[in-house]
Amino acid sequence: MIEIKVNTVKGYKVLISKGLICEAGNYVNLISPARKIMVISDEKVAKLYGTKLLSSLEKAGLDACIYPIKVGEKSKNIGTYVQIVRDMAAREYTRKDALIALGGGVVGDITGFVASTYMRGIDFIQIPTTLLSAIDAAIGGKNGIDLPEGKNYVGTFYQPKLVLCDTDTFRDLPNEEKINGIGEGIKYAVLAGGEILEILEKGLDESNEDRFLELCIKYKASVVENDERERGNRMILNLGHTMGHAIEKLSKYTVPHGLAVVKGLYMLITAPGAVALAKHERERIINLIKKYKFDVTVPYKCGDLLSAARNDKKAEPGNKINIVTVKGIGNCELVNLSQDELCRFFGHDPNRKIN
């Protein structure tokens, strides 16, 4: 088993191993006084692992139930949030009880938000069941729900008590969901370089998956520990996300998050304004994207993308937008540009489609 300590203000451990869902009840008893547990999951994941998790919790003497939500980003809204907290109130959950997020990023985000606000805060545990959520949403304590105006407009910073990465769940992922996680992994490869990049270039498989998870999680943890509430350098983790979130929004969330991040990253490294990035490093990143057969087309006008990005949380006063640029592998920089400056950076007329 791999154990990682995340040293935030309220620190916690991330465990990586097979079979952790079957042991979840014992781990909950070690880190929380809760006797009642609500498991929030989506309908698909609940069918796969819900019974197994409930059995583990009940064997550990816990009173557990499961609350399934619909699959997909569209469930991460204020209506779903209100339904969950009202159900908890009806079941008489108290501050001493706890939640478990069993699923991907959508489930993790809304569960964390419920935990941080129900009775002003109760314990919660993350059990990510996708590669993407294991290296991204489950780590760092960012929780939230979406508004029509954009992703995660309403949210909190609230850390889990524990993260259990049961790698058995990754065996059941369809190939497109594995690739979705690799998309987020490519972000880490560009940010950190080194062994993360080398693993992805070699090819991610079961032989190096645990090590890949460990490296990505440790990298994110190291950034979060120094800027837990994202007031500065934590924004570097948004590489590819400024345009990525805009692409997701314009597609009405039909483009998966990991793919959108890769599209956003590809726009950055191929932009005329990316003059600091050496040709051989640009080619290395492009070859990595090609290796996993990512579709990098962006069928939206530059102006529409920038308008969507301006309504995202990455916007700043003065009609400026935060964006992470790539000066080199392992050398990325957060910059703050106006819409006109971004159009010049990308070399596009606002009314012309990207590609």
Q: Which of 23, 195, 230, 341 is catalytic?
A: 230
Catalytic, out of 73, 184, 214, 248: 184
Selected catalytic residue, list 76, 161, 218, 241: 241
Spatial distance between the Cα atoms of 306 and 209, rounded to a whole number of angstroms: 36
The number of angstroms, rounded, from the C-alpha of 310 to the middle of its chain's C-alpha atoms is: 21
Is there a contact between 55 and 62 (Cβ–Cβ < 8 Å)?
A: no
Among candidate residues 92, 120, 231, 351, the one labeled active-site is 120
Tell me if residue 176 is catalytic: no
Does 245 qualify as catalytic in the annotation? yes
Catalytic residue among 218, 257, 263, 314: 257
Sorted by sequence, the CB contacts under 8 Å of residue 69 that are 6+ apart come out as: 40, 41, 42, 43, 75, 80, 84, 107, 110
Kindly list the strands in the beta sheet with 315-316, ordered across the sheet, starting from the edge strand earlier in the chain. 315-316, 320-328, 331-338
The residue annotated as part of the active site, out of 76, 151, 218, 234, is: 234
Distance separating alpha carbons of residues 330 and 228, to the nearest angstrom? 21
- Verify whether residue 86 is a known catalytic residue: no
From residue 13, alpha-carbon distances to 16, 130, 157, 280, 290 in Å are 10, 18, 17, 38, 35
Q: Which of 151, 178, 245, 314 is labelled catalytic?
A: 245
The reply to whether 220 belongs to the active site is: yes
- The catalytically annotated residue of 36, 73, 76, 142 is 142
Write down the catalytic residue from 36, 218, 220, 314.
Answer: 220
Q: Any catalytic annotation for residue 348?
A: no
One-letter amino acid at 167 equals T
Is residue 152 part of the annotated active site? The answer reads: no
**Options 143, 177, 187, 238, the catalytic residue:** 238
Quote the Cα angle for 128-131-132, to 5°: 85
Active site residue 257: yes
* Catalytic residue check, 241: yes
Catalytically active residues are 120, 142, 184, 220, 230, 234, 238, 241, 245, 257
